[in-house]
Each structure stands twice: as C-alpha cells, then as structure tokens.
C-alpha cells in the first residue's frame, strides 16, 4: 500500500506539473514579477522612446521682462520630474495673431505674460486642444515663483525671512507605551507584509481548493474511481491527493520565491547595483527596513518566520482536507464549484481582515478571530507583524488548527469513504451525516 | 474459483441483492443478466470489494475479498472508466501499478495488446483523442493487462464494429482457455448464449433463473419449430399447442407450448406442398429472459 500511495502521489503530481499550462503559467508569472520588480527601469526605458517635448512660445509684455527667470524656473522644476514634462521654451518676437496661427497649425502652446496692477503679473495660456495637466501645473508654479521674487523685492523681504515665515511648526509625536507602533509604521509594515506574505498565500489557498476538487471530480465522473478504490483504500487515495496537492502548492510557492530572486538579479544587472542593501535603497525600501528594525520585528524574525510557515503549511493541509471531503461528496465539477463557495468565502474573510488589520488595533474580537482555523494563517501573520498579537497567540492558533486537522481527518475520512463512490446527489447530506456517525 | 453464497445487500429499506448464490469455476464464463437496476452493479461492486456491508460470503479461491485479492480481479465497466486526459500508456501504467504490476513491466505487455488490437500508433495519444471503439479496446486492455484470475466484463462489445467484436470474442475465449474465470454481463442475449455455460438472471435483486444454460433451455417447455414451405397459417394457428406463427424470410417460426405438440404441427403441415424444412429448436435465451423477467415483474 505504501508503494501505491507513493505511485498515486507521483501520478497526481505529474498530472499537474507535466503540462504545458504549468510551464506557460509560470513563465507568465515570472515575466509579471520581473516587470513589477523592475517597473521603474521599464518606465524609464519606454519613457526615453517617447518624444514628449512641448513647444512653449512666450510673449513677454511685462515691464521687467521676466521671460528668462520664468524659463530657468520652469526647467529646474521640470528636471525634478525626470524630463516627463520636457518643454522647448522660446521667446516669441512676432505678433500675437501670428503666434496663435502657429499654435493652431503646429500644436504649440502660447504663454502671454503681462503686468498686473494688483497681483504683479498675469498670464494667458493659449493652446489648440488643451495643455498637459502636469505642464500646466509647472507653468503655474513657475509663474508663482517668479511673482514671489518680484513681490519679495517690492516689499524688501529677503529669502531667509520668507523661509522662516513659511516653515511648518514641528510636532514631536511621543508615545509612552513603546511597544505600540504608530499608525504610519503600521501602514508601512502592512504595505510590505500584504503583497509579500498574505496575498500570495491567499491565492495559493484558492488554487489548492480548486485543484483538489477538479482532480477528485475528474476521477469521479468516470467509473475509474471504482477501479482505483478497488485496489487502494479510500484512505490511501485521500492521502495521495492531499500530499500531491500540498507538494504542488509548496513547489509553486518556491517557484514564486525563485521568480522574485531572478527579478532581483535582473534588477542588479540592469541598475548596476550589486549588493542587497544598495538595492533595497534604490528600490525605495530603505525606510521600510528602518521601520521594521525600529519596531523590533527584525529581531523576532527567528520566531516569526518558522511560526508563520508552520501555521501556513497546516492551514494548507486543513483547506485540502475540507476540499477533498467536499469533492468526494459531489458528483461533478459544477456541483463542486457551488459547494466550495463557503470555503472561498471563509478564506476571503481572512484575506479582508488581514488587509484591514491595521484598523483593529487592540480589538479583542479580532484577536479571537485570529485563533479561528482557516482564517488564522491569513490574519495572524498580519497582526503579529503589526504587534497586535504576540507569539503566544500564534502558538494558540497553531494548536487549535492541529486539533481541527485531527478532527477533520477522523470524521472527514468517514465521509470520504462513502462519498467517493457515491454517484447520486439524492439524500446526500443524510448519507454524509450517517457516515460521520458510523465507525 | 469465485464462490458467491447467500449474499444479501440492503440500501436502507431497499433490497438490492436478495440471497444470491452462484459460483464461477476456473476457465468458465458465467453470465450475470438482468434488467437495469436488477442488482448487477451492486453484485459487481461486492465482488470488487467496494461494498463490504452485506450478509453472506464472497470468496475468490477460498479467500475473502480484500485488497490482497482485488489485484487478481479485472473489471471492464459498462460506463467509461478511463481518465481521458491521460495518454494510453500512462493510463495503462496507472491501472497496472494499482493492480500490483511492476511499472517497468507494463509497457512491454501493452505493446503486445496494442499490436493485437491493431492500435499500436495510439500508445502516446490521449484517451480523449480516440474513437469510442478504440477507447473500449483500451478499457479492455486495462482490465486484462495484469492477467487477472477473475475477469468481470460488463457490456464488453459496446461501441465496437463487427470485426472488433470478433477480435474481442477470440480474446475472451483465449482467456477462458487459459483458466481465467469470467463473469459476463450483457443485454445482448445472443452474446450470452454464445459464451456462457452458466448464468443467473436477476430481477429486483433476486435470481429468477440460475444454472447451466443447456439445462435452462431444456427445462423451458416452449419450443420453436422452423418450417420452410407453403403452409396454411390460418389452419396451423388452430392446431392445439400452437401459440404464435411469424414469417421470417422464407421460413415460418411456429411457437408451441410444449414439446409434446410437435407431432400435432407435423401432422397439420404434412399435407402442405413444398415443405423443405421442419426443425424443432429450443427457445432462445432472449425469449426465456423476456418471459421470466416479465413474469417476475408482474408478480
């Protein structure tokens, strides 16, 4: 029987891995992750190909002739935006009518600057079919800056004095309980934990539930199940499905990690940054690492990582048990799609709770929910990272989950034994309850 | 040898099989017949060890059916039992290993059977790409690849053309001659008559006919007389013992109530012209089946 279990697991695993769709899906995932990790380089790469220079004609009718100052202010502001608002600014010497004709024919932008008695300068921005929002904003801020300089000179205020006037009041935020992180830190931490841990786990869980249901129903829709069960016990069959599906999901998780590593290597090669700390900095993750460090989470990673991994692996086992039991009760994949909805909803509840975990600081209800099997693996890591629960809470969740798995296995196997050879949906629940009661 | 003794199986209040007994010797082909829902599938499931909550006993070579015995049973199901996304090779390997065969020995045997059934080019094709007839061949191979001691064939000729039916017949007879016990189930009575020495007919889980085919036919009183010639059917219908007369090509089929009425018929037609054939035959299994099953249903 042991050899048959090994063989069934191998066959089941091969059916999932040795398909062109597995390869295609993983190639797509790899490409997506590489693009995501290297998004900034890609934007720059494609951005360089677009000729998005705007021609701005300036008619300067002001007494002080502010064209040069405006042009230098604009170019300085534009340089901060990495040339996405590049403009070719020229002083227009000819008449306004002729300039308008150029605007109409060559899609240029005309800026007419004039003196204003109350507000120093006023301007008209003329275009044929509108001006890019960002360019319009930079023109406005550049003109405001020029106007400020004129006003400062007029009222005899030095730039240093203005800086003091404009400076914001500094507010020092102090919390007497050091163990509580502040909201900003929490948001930052969740910003990291969610896409790295919770979202992939949630997706893998759904994938697992779907996969087990599809495979068991594929065998059930033919009389092949009778051939199989006449030669291996339902227990061995059930085990093989659980093993194969969980190995596959873990393998898929490892592939995702490898994809991220490949994406980082590509990033190193393309950005020229060849050490992790520099890469973290260039990716804008420096603040996150500092925050993680200051919150003390990095010091506790030695406990957090294995505990979270154990909780997640056990949760995958629990989900696969339920999926297997439900799949054995259904007679085709359509029925299974309906019956699996409650599992998906439970998983979804865990997902949303984890996503909103930052809002539940100190809630006893959420703490209790983090003990609930199926939800705990999604919610507990989020709450743990946010410092809302302790390692002890995660251990409690794990123990509750282990007890649930034992019960699910004990009673679920009874249902599986009856359900797997049941081809009729008539009196289904009656049959299942009877199976649970019988030894 | 398979021995089924006083087997009764209930599903709730419904009696699916009622005190069924029969045995199938080595190298014997046994017919298990019945209308849909008569209890055949339940019987097969019990023999396969899929159902164990029944009374009575089922023994294969003196051993109770369990996972150590089921490796010696081959089962060709009436419905499709192949996993259509698999290739022929993977499918046969899958079932072969489950039947206890070493994985590396399967391909060689498969090659033999594919060659035999003239489908060797399909070895690496997916099952779903094959025609119904070829799928049936693969299903048949999957049930015999491990050389079972007991082979259950449920409608084995389904989807086959006449040439392949002949090929299957030869193979089944070869297996029988090699000592395989075969349980044969079909709604085609001519196939059952051709193969089975012994049979059981089930009606609502109970056997209404059980024994050797020869004895069953002999015990069945009604006979058929085949006559070829110019006969007066109106006159013949009035002869004592005649039940019905039908024309089949040049021949007339005269059904009589009992063998003792043969002389009456012979006398009645002896004055007719051009009589070239007068043959007394047993009733067909089909007739016996229809009458017995019908009688039991009416009860």
Chain A residue set in contact with B, beta carbons under 8 Å: 1, 4, 7-8, 11, 15, 218-219, 222-224, 226-233, 421
Band (pLDDT 50/70/90 cuts) for residue A94 is confident
Band (pLDDT 50/70/90 cuts) for residue A358 is confident
Q: Sort out which chain A residues have CB atoms less than 8 A from B90's CB and list them.
A: 11
CB-nearest to A222 from B48, B67, B83 is: B83
CB contact under 8 A, B85 and A15: yes
Question: Which structure tokens are listed for A84?
Answer: 């996405």
Band (pLDDT 50/70/90 cuts) for residue A169 is confident
CB contact under 8 A, B67 and A224: no
The residue to which tokens 């997902």 are assigned: A351
**How confident is the model over B58-85, as a mean pLDDT?**
91
**How confident is the model over A287-298, as a mean pLDDT?**
62
Give the pLDDT confidence score for residue B287 in this predicted structure. 81
Nearest residue of A to residue B75 by CA position? A227
Is it true that B2-217 and B221-282 share their CATH fold?
Answer: no
Question: Which structure tokens are listed for B243?
Answer: 């039940």
Q: Is the pLDDT of residue A273 over 70?
A: no
- Name the least confident of A63-77, A117-131, A176-190: A176-190
CB contact under 8 A, A226 and B103: no
CA distance A217 to chain B (A): 11
Q: What is the pLDDT of residues B30-46, one digit of tens each?
A: 999 988 888 999 999 99
Q: Is the pLDDT of residue B6 over 80?
A: yes
CB contact under 8 A, B67 and A222: no
Please say whether the beta carbons of A193 and A297 come within 8 A. no
Please say whether the beta carbons of B66 and B38 come within 8 A. no
CA B61 – CA A77 distance, rounded (Å): 94
Q: What is the pLDDT of residues A423-432, one digit of tens each?
A: 877 777 777 8
**How confident is the model over A249-262, as a mean pLDDT?**
91
Give helix then strand counts, H and E, for chain B.
10, 14
Question: Which structure tokens are listed for A132?
Answer: 């890019």
Q: Is the pLDDT of residue A283 over 80?
A: no
CA B149 – CA A189 distance, rounded (Å): 66
Give the pLDDT confidence score for residue A293 in this predicted structure. 63
B254 CB burial (10 A radius; 0-12, 13-18, 19+): buried
Chain B residue set in contact with A, beta carbons under 8 Å: 45, 48-50, 67, 70-71, 73, 75, 77-86, 90, 94-95, 97-100, 103, 142
Beta bridge partners, A91, equal A58
CA distance B77 to chain A (A): 7
CA A379 – CA A354 distance, rounded (Å): 5
Going by DSSP bridges, is the β-strand pair B181-185/B14-24 parallel, antiparallel, or unpaired? Answer: unpaired
Q: Sort out which chain B residues have CB atoms less than 8 A from A224's CB and list them.
A: 80-83
CB contact under 8 A, B79 and A223: yes
Looking at domain B2-217, its CATH superfamily turns out to be: P-loop containing nucleotide triphosphate hydrolases (3.40.50.300)
* Residues contacting A346, CB < 8 A, separation 6+: A374, A375
- Name the least confident of A285-294, A396-405, B259-268: A285-294
Q: Is the pLDDT of residue A412 over 70?
A: yes
Q: How many residues does chain A have?
A: 439
Q: What is the pLDDT of residues A35-52, one digit of tens each?
A: 888 877 777 677 654 556
- Name the least confident of A79-88, A280-289, B10-19: A280-289
Beta bridge partners, A123, equal A113
Q: Is the pLDDT of residue A400 over 90?
A: yes
Mutate to test the interface with A, among B83, B99, B105, B144 (most CBs of A within 10 A): B83
Q: What is the pLDDT of residues B43-68, one digit of tens each?
A: 999 999 999 889 999 999 999 998 88
CA B220 – CA A35 distance, rounded (Å): 83
**DSSP3 helix / strand / coil % (chain B, rounded to 5):** 40, 30, 30
Residue A241 or B12, more confident: A241
CATH number of the B221-282 domain: 3.30.70.980
- The secondary structure of A389-404 as a DSSP string is S-HHHHHHHHHHHHHH
CB-nearest to B98 from A4, A15, A222 is: A4
**Mapping DSSP to helix (H, G, I), strand (E, B) and coil, where does residue A206 land?**
helix
This model of the complex carries an ipTM of 0.82
CB contact under 8 A, B83 and A224: yes
Q: What is the pLDDT of residues A194-205, one digit of tens each?
A: 777 788 888 889
CB contact under 8 A, B75 and A227: yes
Q: Sort out which chain A residues have CB atoms less than 8 A from B45's CB and list them.
A: 226, 421
Domains of chain A: 2-41+182-437 (no CATH), 51-166 (3.40.190)
Nearest residue of A to residue B71 by CA position? A231
Residue A109 or A180, more confident: A109
Q: What is the pLDDT of residues A129-144, one digit of tens each?
A: 888 877 888 888 889 8
Gap between the terminal Cα atoms of chain A: 22
For chain B, give every domain's residue range: 2-217, 221-282
CA B134 – CA B116 distance, rounded (Å): 12
Give the pLDDT confidence score for residue A47 in this predicted structure. 60
Q: Is the pLDDT of residue A184 over 80?
A: no
Q: What is the mean pLDDT of chain A?
A: 83
CA distance B20 to chain A (A): 21
**How confident is the model over A307-328, as a mean pLDDT?**
92
Percent pLDDT > 90 in chain B is 52
* Residues contacting A86, CB < 8 A, separation 6+: A52, A53, A54, A78
Q: Is the pLDDT of residue A284 over 60?
A: no
Please say whether the beta carbons of A213 and A188 come within 8 A. no
* Residues contacting B299, CB < 8 A, separation 6+: none
Give the pLDDT confidence score for residue B8 in this predicted structure. 95
CA distance B136 to chain A (A): 13
Give the pLDDT confidence score for residue A386 in this predicted structure. 76
Nearest residue of B to residue A218 by CA position? B83
Q: Which residue from B61, B272, B56 is spatially nearest to B179, judged by alpha carbons?
A: B61
Give the pLDDT confidence score for residue A86 in this predicted structure. 75
CA A274 – CA A283 distance, rounded (Å): 13
Question: Which structure tokens are listed for B97?
Answer: 């290993």
Q: Sort out which chain B residues have CB atoms less than 8 A from A421's CB and list them.
A: 45, 50
Per-residue HEC secondary structure of A283-301 comes to CCCHHHHHHHHHCCHHHHH
CA A397 – CA A372 distance, rounded (Å): 7
CB contact under 8 A, B48 and A4: no
Band (pLDDT 50/70/90 cuts) for residue A276 is low
Q: What is the pLDDT of residues B214-227, one digit of tens each?
A: 888 888 777 888 88
Largest CA distance in chain A: 100
Give the pLDDT confidence score for residue B176 in this predicted structure. 94
Going by DSSP bridges, is the β-strand pair B273-282/B206-212 parallel, antiparallel, or unpaired? Answer: unpaired
Q: Is the pLDDT of residue B270 over 90?
A: no
**How confident is the model over A259-265, as a mean pLDDT?**
89
Give the pLDDT confidence score for residue B282 in this predicted structure. 81
Going by DSSP bridges, is the β-strand pair B198-203/B29-34 parallel, antiparallel, or unpaired? Answer: parallel
- Name the least confident of A299-308, A373-382, B5-14, B179-188: A299-308
Q: Is the pLDDT of residue B100 over 60?
A: yes
Question: What is the Cα Rg of chain B in Å?
Answer: 23
CA B84 – CA A129 distance, rounded (Å): 61
**How confident is the model over B122-133, as a mean pLDDT?**
94
CB contact under 8 A, B67 and A232: yes
CB contact under 8 A, B73 and A218: no
The single-letter DSSP state of residue B259 is: G
Q: Which residue from B214, B206, B202 is spatially nearest to B285, judged by alpha carbons?
A: B214
Mutate to test the interface with A, among B66, B71, B93, B94 (most CBs of A within 10 A): B94
Please say whether the beta carbons of B7 and B46 come within 8 A. yes
* Residues contacting B34, CB < 8 A, separation 6+: B40, B201, B202, B203, B293
CA B224 – CA B201 distance, rounded (Å): 22
CA A378 – CA A356 distance, rounded (Å): 12
Going by DSSP bridges, is the β-strand pair B198-203/B181-185 parallel, antiparallel, or unpaired? Answer: unpaired
CB contact under 8 A, B75 and A230: yes
Give the pLDDT confidence score for residue B296 in this predicted structure. 58
Residue B298 or B258, more confident: B258
């Amino acid at each position: 029987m042991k050899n048959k279990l090994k063989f069934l697991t191998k066959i089941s695993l091969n059916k999932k891995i040795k398909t062109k769709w597995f390869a295609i899906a993983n190639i797509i995932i790899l490409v997506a992750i590489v693009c995501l990790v290297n998004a900034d380089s890609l934007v720059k790469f494609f951005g360089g190909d677009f000729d998005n220079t705007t021609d701005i004609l300036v008619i300067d009718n002001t007494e002080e002739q502010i064209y040069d100052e405006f042009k230098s202010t604009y170019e300085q502001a534009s340089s901060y935006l990495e040339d996405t608002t590049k403009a070719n600014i020229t002083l227009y010497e000819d008449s306004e009518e002729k300039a308008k004709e150029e605007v109409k024919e060559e899609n240029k932008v005309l800026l007419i600057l004039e003196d204003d008695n109350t507000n120093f300068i006023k301007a008209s921005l003329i275009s044929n079919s509108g001006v890019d929002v960002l360019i319009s904003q930079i023109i406005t801020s550049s003109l405001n800056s020029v106007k400020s300089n004129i006003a400062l000179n007029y009222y005899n205020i030095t730039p240093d004095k203005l800086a003091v006037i404009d400076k914001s009041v500094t507010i020092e935020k102090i919390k007497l309980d050091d163990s509580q992180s502040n909201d900003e830190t929490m948001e930052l931490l969740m910003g990291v934990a969610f896409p790295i841990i919770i979202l992939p786990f949630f997706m893998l869980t759904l994938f697992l539930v779907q996969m087990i249901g599809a495979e068991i129903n594929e065998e059930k829709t033919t009389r092949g199940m009778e051939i199989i069960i006449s030669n291996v016990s339902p227990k061995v069959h059930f085990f093989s499905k659980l093993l194969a599906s969980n190995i596959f999901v873990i393998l898929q998780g490892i592939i995702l990690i490898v994809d991220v590593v490949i994406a980082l290597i590509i990033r190193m090669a393309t950005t020229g940054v060849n050490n992790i700390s520099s890469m973290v900095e260039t990716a804008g993750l420096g603040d996150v690492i500092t925050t993680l460090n200051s919150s003390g989470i990095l010091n506790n990673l030695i406990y957090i990582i294995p505990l979270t991994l154990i909780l997640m692996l056990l949760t995958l086992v629990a989900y696969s048990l339920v999926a297997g039991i439900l799949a054995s009760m259904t007679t085709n994949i359509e029925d299974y799609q309906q019956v699996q909805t409650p599992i998906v909803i439970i998983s979804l509840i865990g997902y949303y709770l984890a996503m909103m975990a930052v809002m539940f600081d100190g809630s006893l209800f959420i703490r209790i929910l983090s003990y609930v099997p199926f939800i705990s693996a999604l919610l507990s890591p989020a709450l743990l990272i946010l410092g809302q629960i302790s390692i002890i809470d995660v251990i409690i969740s794990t123990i509750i989950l282990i007890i649930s798995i034992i019960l699910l296995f004990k009673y679920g196997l009874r249902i599986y034994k009856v359900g797997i050879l049941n081809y009729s949906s008539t009196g289904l629940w009656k049959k299942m309850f009877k199976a649970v009661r019988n030894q | 040898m398979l021995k089924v003794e006083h087997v009764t199986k209930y599903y709730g209040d419904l009696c699916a099989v009622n005190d069924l007994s029969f045995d199938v010797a080595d190298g014997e082909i046994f017919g298990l017949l019945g209308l849909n829902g008569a209890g055949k599938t339940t019987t097969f499931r019990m023999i396969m060890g899929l159902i164990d909550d029944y009374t009575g006993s089922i023994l294969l070579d003196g051993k109770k059916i369990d996972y150590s015995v089921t490796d010696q049973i081959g089962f060709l199901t009436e419905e499709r039992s192949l996993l259509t996304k698999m290739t022929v090779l993977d499918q046969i390997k899958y079932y072969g290993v489950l039947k206890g065969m070493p994985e590396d020995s399967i391909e060689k045997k498969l090659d033999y059977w594919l060659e035999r059934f003239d489908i060797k080019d399909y070895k690496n094709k997916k099952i779903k790409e094959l025609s119904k007839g070829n799928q049936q061949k693969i299903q048949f191979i999957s049930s015999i690849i491990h050389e079972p001691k007991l082979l259950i064939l449920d409608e084995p000729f389904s989807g086959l053309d006449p040439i392949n039916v002949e090929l299957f017949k030869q193979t089944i007879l070869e297996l029988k001659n090699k000592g395989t016990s075969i349980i044969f189930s079909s709604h085609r009575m001519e196939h059952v008559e051709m193969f089975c020495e012994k049979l059981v007919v089930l009606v609502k889980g109970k056997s209404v006919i059980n024994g050797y085919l020869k004895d069953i036919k002999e015990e069945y009183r009604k006979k058929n007389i085949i006559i070829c010639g110019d006969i007066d059917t109106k006159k013949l219908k009035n002869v004592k013992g005649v039940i019905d007369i039908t024309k089949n090509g040049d021949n007339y089929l005269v059904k009589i109530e009992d063998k003792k009425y043969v002389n009456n018929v012979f006398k009645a037609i002896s004055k007719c012209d051009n009589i070239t054939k007068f043959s007394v035959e047993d009733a067909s299994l089909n007739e016996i089946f229809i009458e017995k099953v019908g009688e039991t249903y009416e009860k």
